[in-house]
Amino acid sequence: MDIPLAFRWIFVALVLLQLIALVPVLRRLRDPASERRTEARLRLLDGAGSLMFLAGFVFGAPVLVLAGLVCVGAVYAAKGVLWYRARERT
Protein backbone atom coordinates (compact mmCIF):
# COMPACT_ATOMS: atom_id res chain seq x y z
CA MET A 1 0.00 0.00 0.00
CA ASP A 2 1.49 3.29 -1.07
CA ILE A 3 0.51 6.51 0.68
CA PRO A 4 0.15 9.56 -1.63
CA LEU A 5 2.77 12.26 -1.30
CA ALA A 6 0.33 14.87 0.02
CA PHE A 7 -0.60 12.63 2.96
CA ARG A 8 3.06 12.04 3.74
CA TRP A 9 3.57 15.79 4.09
CA ILE A 10 0.56 15.96 6.38
CA PHE A 11 2.07 13.20 8.53
CA VAL A 12 5.40 15.03 8.62
CA ALA A 13 3.62 18.20 9.80
CA LEU A 14 1.84 16.20 12.52
CA VAL A 15 5.15 14.72 13.66
CA LEU A 16 6.64 18.21 13.92
CA LEU A 17 3.65 19.39 15.95
CA GLN A 18 4.08 16.41 18.29
CA LEU A 19 7.74 17.29 18.78
CA ILE A 20 6.88 20.90 19.58
CA ALA A 21 4.22 19.74 22.05
CA LEU A 22 6.81 17.68 23.94
CA VAL A 23 8.85 20.74 25.00
CA PRO A 24 6.55 21.78 27.90
CA VAL A 25 6.27 18.15 28.99
CA LEU A 26 10.05 17.89 29.28
CA ARG A 27 10.04 20.99 31.48
CA ARG A 28 7.41 19.48 33.76
CA LEU A 29 9.60 16.43 34.37
CA ARG A 30 11.77 18.59 36.65
CA ASP A 31 8.84 19.67 38.84
CA PRO A 32 9.28 18.94 42.57
CA ALA A 33 5.69 17.64 42.94
CA SER A 34 5.61 13.88 42.32
CA GLU A 35 2.06 13.79 40.91
CA ARG A 36 2.98 16.38 38.27
CA ARG A 37 6.09 14.38 37.34
CA THR A 38 3.99 11.21 36.99
CA GLU A 39 1.56 13.02 34.71
CA ALA A 40 4.47 14.43 32.72
CA ARG A 41 5.97 10.95 32.29
CA LEU A 42 2.68 9.60 31.00
CA ARG A 43 2.31 12.54 28.60
CA LEU A 44 5.88 12.00 27.39
CA LEU A 45 5.18 8.32 26.76
CA ASP A 46 1.93 9.26 25.01
CA GLY A 47 3.80 11.68 22.76
CA ALA A 48 6.49 9.12 22.00
CA GLY A 49 3.86 6.52 21.13
CA SER A 50 2.07 8.98 18.86
CA LEU A 51 5.37 9.82 17.16
CA MET A 52 6.06 6.12 16.59
CA PHE A 53 2.58 5.66 15.19
CA LEU A 54 2.89 8.57 12.77
CA ALA A 55 6.45 7.67 11.79
CA GLY A 56 5.29 4.15 11.02
CA PHE A 57 2.77 5.54 8.56
CA VAL A 58 5.26 7.93 6.99
CA PHE A 59 7.96 5.31 6.52
CA GLY A 60 5.58 2.47 5.73
CA ALA A 61 6.71 0.36 8.70
CA PRO A 62 3.83 -1.61 10.19
CA VAL A 63 6.00 -2.63 13.16
CA LEU A 64 6.33 1.04 14.19
CA VAL A 65 2.59 1.55 13.80
CA LEU A 66 1.89 -1.45 16.02
CA ALA A 67 4.48 -0.39 18.60
CA GLY A 68 2.98 3.11 18.71
CA LEU A 69 -0.52 1.74 19.21
CA VAL A 70 0.65 -0.54 22.02
CA CYS A 71 2.49 2.34 23.70
CA VAL A 72 -0.46 4.72 23.48
CA GLY A 73 -2.83 1.99 24.65
CA ALA A 74 -0.66 1.31 27.70
CA VAL A 75 -0.59 5.02 28.54
CA TYR A 76 -4.36 5.32 28.30
CA ALA A 77 -4.77 2.23 30.50
CA ALA A 78 -2.42 3.71 33.12
CA LYS A 79 -4.23 7.06 33.00
CA GLY A 80 -7.54 5.24 33.43
CA VAL A 81 -6.26 3.36 36.48
CA LEU A 82 -4.93 6.59 38.02
CA TRP A 83 -8.22 8.37 37.33
CA TYR A 84 -10.21 5.50 38.86
CA ARG A 85 -8.02 5.38 41.98
CA ALA A 86 -8.31 9.15 42.44
CA ARG A 87 -12.08 8.95 42.02
CA GLU A 88 -12.40 6.23 44.66
CA ARG A 89 -10.52 8.34 47.22
CA THR A 90 -13.13 11.09 47.14
pLDDT recorded at residue 49: 92
Give me the sign of the Cα torsion angle 68, 69, 74, 77: positive
pLDDT at 1 over 70: no
Buried b (16+ CB within 10 A) or exposed e, 25-49: beeeeeeeeeeeeebbebbbbbbbb
pLDDT at 73 over 90: yes
pLDDT recorded at residue 36: 85
pLDDT at 90 over 70: yes
Average pLDDT over residues 71-78: 95
Confidence tier at 79 by pLDDT (50, 70, 90): very high
Specify the pTM. Answer: 0.78
- How many Å apart are CA 8 and CA 18, to the nearest integer? 15
